[in-house]
Structure 1
Amino acid sequence: MPSPQLQVANCPCCGKVFQKNHRNQCIECSREIDAALNKCFDYLRRNHKSTEEQLTEATGVSAKYIQGWIKEGRLLITDYPNLNYPCCSCGAPIRKHKMCVDCSLRLNKEIQQLNEKEELRRYRGPLAAAESGFQIRERIGRLNRT
């Protein structure tokens, strides 16, 4: 009976070799990150209306970690009214979803325009294909003229 192979990887935080787990980091780094999260919770219990900058300054925890915990759902911004995270498109501060309202509207408008163009292209059929895009006949015709 073959023995199961041990799956190992390098910790993305410290580079140390560790046995793969669900957190994808070594035990020491996991403990440090958990301790930092607990430090943030302790501070937020005492200072409920703190901003991300105040939390970072008071605890020494990187804003990158705080934003990651918010996105993972480990730090609920519904409990803390002044915490937010950046829009994935423009970086504006938001409290829900992945994009701010402006970026969502812009993206929906662009998708609608693309759908309308595609529908028009389908409606016009082969004529639309001849009018848009590159045609081999055009290139061959230019080569024969020169």
Structure 2
Amino acid sequence: MAELRNCPSCNGFFNYTGMRDVCHNCAQIEEDQYQVVYRFLRKRENRAANVDRIVEATGVERDLLYKWVRKGRLHPAMFPNLGYPCDTCGRLTKSGKLCEKCQNELKAELRTLEAAQDFREEMDRKTRATYLSEKK
């Protein structure tokens, strides 16, 4: 079932069905801009262009480029200098929501937390064993 939303680009109303996050008119404008970017990147000399160079050459907003890379419309495998910002630090990444550095930091913190929990559980077991012994 469609849901009535405001378009984030033009602030007009549109029926959100889950397919697009902007109204039909703004979606058409985005598609036209996508075609400009794609034609620019198809040229051999532009395939290694970074986000700044693409924005400068095409005039397309940086956030739209990030959106297209995140959604898989522009593949970092084909265009190696493309990516989108990490949700934590803002460094460019090519997959997921976090860059490799933030992922590794999060994994390290989780390992530390698990080790602390294991230590607490072990101490609780030892403490219980000490207090549960009976004298005869």
TM-score (ref. length: structure 1): 0.74
Secondary structure in 2 matching 1:68: helix
Which of 1 and 2 has higher RCO (CA within 8 Å, sep 6+)?
2
State the partner residue of 1:90.
89
Q: 2:13 aligned with 1:17, yes or no?
A: yes
Answer whether contact 2:76 2:83 (CA < 8 A) is retained. yes
Count of aligned residue pairs for this structure pair: 124
**1:72 match:** 71
1:114 is matched with which residue? 113
| Unmatched segments (≥5 aa) in structure 2 | 128-136
Find the structure with the greater CA-based Rg: 1
Identity of aligned residues (%): 28
| 1:37 aligned residue (34, 37, 41) | 34
Gaps of at least 5 residues in structure 1 are: 128-146
Deviation readout 1:68-124 (Å, 9 max, x if unpaired): 111111111111122222222222233344333322221111101101111122222
Q: Which residue identity is paired with 1:16?
A: G
Whole-angstrom distance in 1 between the partners of 2:15 and 2:92: 37
| 8 Å Cα contact 2:70-2:95 kept in structure 1 | no
RMSD, aligned α-carbons:
2.2
State TM-score, norm by structure 2. 0.79
